[in-house]
Structure 1
Amino acid sequence: MRILIPLFLLFCNLSFAQNQRFSYYYSFVKDTLNKQEVTKELMNLDITKNGSVFYSHDVHVSDSTMTAYYEKQIKTTGSMNVDTKMMSQRKGTVRYRIIKDYPDFKISSLLNIGIDYYKVSDDCKLIWNILPDRQKIGEFNTQKATTEFAGRKWEAWFSSELPFQDGPYKFHGLPGLIIKLQDHTGTHQFELAGISKFADSTDNFSGFAGRNKVIEINRLQYRKLYLEDRNDPAKLIKQAMANGATLKFTDQSGNVIPPAQMIKNKEQGAKAKNAKDNNIIELDLLN
């Protein structure tokens, strides 16, 4: 296992009641027609006594920096001027957060669709088949388990040396932390990279916002919204125009873009993006 973050292996000295951060490398292929292009992102699984939060390290750092920048701007000037250049420099691609509440492992996702933030509850039940296969991954003795989830078959290697029934993304329920996880196509892979402690709480969604309300929905409602946004990205513009709103759009040079052209641009952009984003982690959302 390639390790870029130090692994702290003196587990006899760890107090598992304290906050533990397990960092994973997440490697995934967005376009099945271009499997050579692999996106890699460092993800954190923060575990406390009350539950866990799984999120992108880069997104968290980038958005926290941006939030502080705009909060300072508001405090100094009393207003906020959105800096398009700074917005374009946001890092990270995995913009959701997965929250698991202990002890019953209620799962919810924090994410955005369009201009709104949503908290999506998910009552997914994972049925694991624990196999006799064992191997050592890094410094851990692990055992193999398999399951099916969201349109994919998954293979996990867990270690009972780490007494957490948790793992990356929404995966949980094994008698030990998941060290390595991949789907049957090999296009989505998670592997433990490091362990540390943390003092601050990352329970709250720290994405740059100015958005105060989080809308709570279930997974069926989310799937409907997800497909609508994916297939009709200009829906909000069309609705606003139908309601008589006067809309004005400009490009980065300040040139006015007619609403009809803006709609066309969004639809064409979405079509091109969707063609290269055909391998989402939860495949059944597309069915």
Structure 2
Amino acid sequence: MKKIFVGMMAILSIATYAQNQRFSYEYKFVRDSAEKDKSETEIMLLNVFSKGSQFYSKDVFESDSILNAEFKKQSGGLDHHIDLSKFKSKGKVRYQVEKNYPDYSVNFFTNLGSIEYMIQESRNQNWKILPEKEKVGEFNTQKATCDYVGRIWTAWFTTDIPIQDGPHKFHGLPGLIVKLEDKTKSHIFELKGVRKFDDKEEWKSFKDKERYEPLIILNDKKYKKTYLDNRADPNKGLRNLLAEGGKFEMKDASGKIMDSNQIMKDREKKQKETNKRNNNVLELDLLK
């Protein structure tokens, strides 16, 4: 009965306060735990609808929108050679998170190589609400903590915005999360803007967007294995493609076709070097 009551309150809060609102968060993060002074910043958007919320990078969304428009424009002509050489991708945080109201089921969308996955979250956020209060920006907030995805988190939430939601996968407090940081302060989200957007804009799930390859759906336990396999062997997906009869080729600046074996060796070396530096992922339990 308590869960049903909480769900009804969540629907009422959203219906009366925050349909079609956008919350902009500044996300500061450190990729390499050995270089904590080298933080990066990305603007993340939390769009709230009556059916649920969606969380993603502003730069990545805008960049992908331009890319898709250019792809459709070029592919619509008689010449099927698509030139995207002048296109420059923006944004570093390439995942999306979707929460469905009122049960707040969470789906996480990400790519490993050329394959896109939807991961169904099963881990719980057991918040401990504390008496401490603090002013964060213009909001009066209260403190809460939880142990989640391999990190100890501190959240500051405000009941002035009665939405049980927040950045990334976080939710379940009696108000919007205004600030969120892990114990090492290497992953920090802070609310920077609130605005209402067009009421005519409707909820559309990320899983229903147009794709050229199928979306692979996994639970979080199976995804962890897939994630670790991909880190250990970055070319696994490409080799599977070749084994199934697929082909790929790349050309150098002079137009000469490059050796595919050398491409794969270079790709594996580069990706493993990147993985070594990227050792401070937000969901730290993926590496344990």
Could you list the runs of 5+ residues in structure 1 that have no partner in the other structure? Answer: 1-13
The one-letter code of the counterpart of 2:77 is T
The aligned length equals 271
Give yes or no for the alignment of 1:274 onto 2:275.
yes
Equivalent residues in 2 for 1:22-41, closer than 5 Å? 22-41=23-42
Match of 1:7 in 2: none
Distance in 2 of aligned mates of 1:210 and 1:153: 36
Q: Is the 8 A contact 2:29 2:39 kept in 1?
A: yes
Distance in 2 of aligned mates of 1:252 and 1:209: 32
The one-letter code of the counterpart of 1:224 is K
Residue 247 of structure 1: how far off its partner (Å): 5.0
Deviations 1:58-79 (A, max 9, x none): 1111111111111122223373
Residue 183 of structure 1: how far off its partner (Å): 0.2
Match of 1:263 in 2: 264
Match of 1:156 in 2: 155
Match of 1:177 in 2: 176
Distance in 2 of aligned mates of 1:231 and 1:279: 16
Residue 243 of structure 1: how far off its partner (Å): 5.8
Distance in 2 of aligned mates of 1:201 and 1:212: 25
Q: Percent identity?
A: 42
The one-letter code of the counterpart of 1:114 is G
Distance in 1 of aligned mates of 2:236 and 2:64: 27
The one-letter code of the counterpart of 2:180 is L
Q: Is the 8 A contact 1:27 1:188 kept in 2?
A: yes
Could you list the runs of 5+ residues in structure 2 that have no partner in the other structure? Answer: 1-14
The one-letter code of the counterpart of 1:45 is L
Distance in 2 of aligned mates of 1:244 and 1:213: 18
Q: 1:80 to 1:176 in 2, by over 3 A?
A: farther
SS at match of 1:85: coil
Match of 2:222 in 1: 221
Deviations 1:118-156 (A, max 9, x none): 111111210011111001111111000000111100000
Distance in 1 of aligned mates of 2:17 and 2:254: 54
The range that moved more, 188-197 or 15-24, is 15-24
Give yes or no for the alignment of 1:76 onto 2:77.
yes
TM-score, scaled to structure 1: 0.87
Equivalent residues in 2 for 1:50-129, closer than 5 Å? 50-77=51-78, 79=80, 81-86=82-87, 89-129=88-128
Match of 2:46 in 1: 45
Distance in 2 of aligned mates of 1:165 and 1:224: 31
Q: 1:194 to 1:123 in 2, by over 3 A?
A: same
Q: Is the 8 A contact 2:98 2:206 kept in 1?
A: no
Q: 1:252 to 1:261 in 2, by over 3 A?
A: same
Match of 2:144 in 1: 145
